[in-house]
Structure 1
Amino acid sequence: MPGLDIREIVRAANDRWNAAFNSGDAAAVAALYTSDGTVLPPDHAVVKGTAAIADFWAGFISAGVKDHDIELLDAQDGGDMAYSSGKWWATGLGEDGKALRFEGTIVTIFRRQPDGSWKTCLHTWN
């Protein structure tokens, strides 16, 4: 995206991710990752590839996790790769049915695609 700095690109990517997740569309979330994308969730097996990523996020969506948002802390451009760090939060229901707020930190690595767009190739959080 000519004229945009990496922070603007990452903010837009985060906005697309949040919009897809919050709309309940796991396939749209997975489409934001590269075909060989990897998700490294805490306390869970590695999730690799578009289909597995869609299934993984569908589980969160069906469990009632919603209102996801990301606050960008830093983004650095490395040519065809970039990384960002930030804080994330979402809401959901606990086992007792009471509303919970989940939050933590996030690191995302992006890869520039041949068409100039950016997709996530590695995503991890706590």
Structure 2
Amino acid sequence: MTQSSENIRGEIQRANDEWNSAFNSGNADAVAALYAPDAVVLPSTHAVIRGASAIEDFWNGLISAGVKDHRIEMVDAQSGGDIAYAIGKWSASAPGEGSEAQRYEGTVVTVFRRQGDGSWKACLHTWN
């Protein structure tokens, strides 16, 4: 079943909003819960991360390092069957030298898989 572009964009935007909320509240467990159990995260600065436990550890490390104010601005989302992808821009702040926060930004691609309960969970997530 193919969803309309408007519907999938709304659903994926909600998933992105949940992700930002979980991360910005410092809850790595809640962030990891938004990924499929077999998900893969491909950060540009780390090794490939596989599975919920490793994904939680990765995000917990960034949260502990002071990364905050994460935002995803979705540019587009499309779906076919139980798979969807979203492309967008991300930004976040992290401690810089001295007391100044450093702002980082880049592009993000996330592939989502529809779960049995109808929710969408990330199964592949990468950014630069």
Quickly name the TM-score band, shorter chain normalised. over 0.9
The alignment partner of 1:54 has SS state of: helix
Provide the residue aligned with 1:34 in structure 2: 36
For structure 2, the residue ranges without an aligned partner over 5 or more in a row are none
Question: Normalising by the residue count of structure 1, what TM-score does the alignment of the two structures yield?
Answer: 0.95
TM-superposed CA distance for 1:95, in Å, is 4.1
1:87 and 2:92 matched: no
Which 5+ residue runs of structure 1 have no aligned equivalent? none
Q: Distance in 2 between matches of 1:59 and 1:43?
A: 13
Equivalent of 1:60, from 37, 42, 62? 62
1:44 equivalent to 2:38? Answer: no
Superposition map of 1:7-26 within 5 A: 7-26=9-28
Q: How far is the alpha carbon of 1:78 from its aligned partner?
A: 1.2
User: What is the aligned length?
Assistant: 125
Per the alignment, in what secondary structure is the counterpart of residue 73 of structure 1? strand
The Cα offsets for residues 9-65 of structure 1, whole Å up to 9 and x where unpaired, read as: 010000000000000000000000000011000021000100000000000000000
TM-score scaled by length of structure 2: 0.93
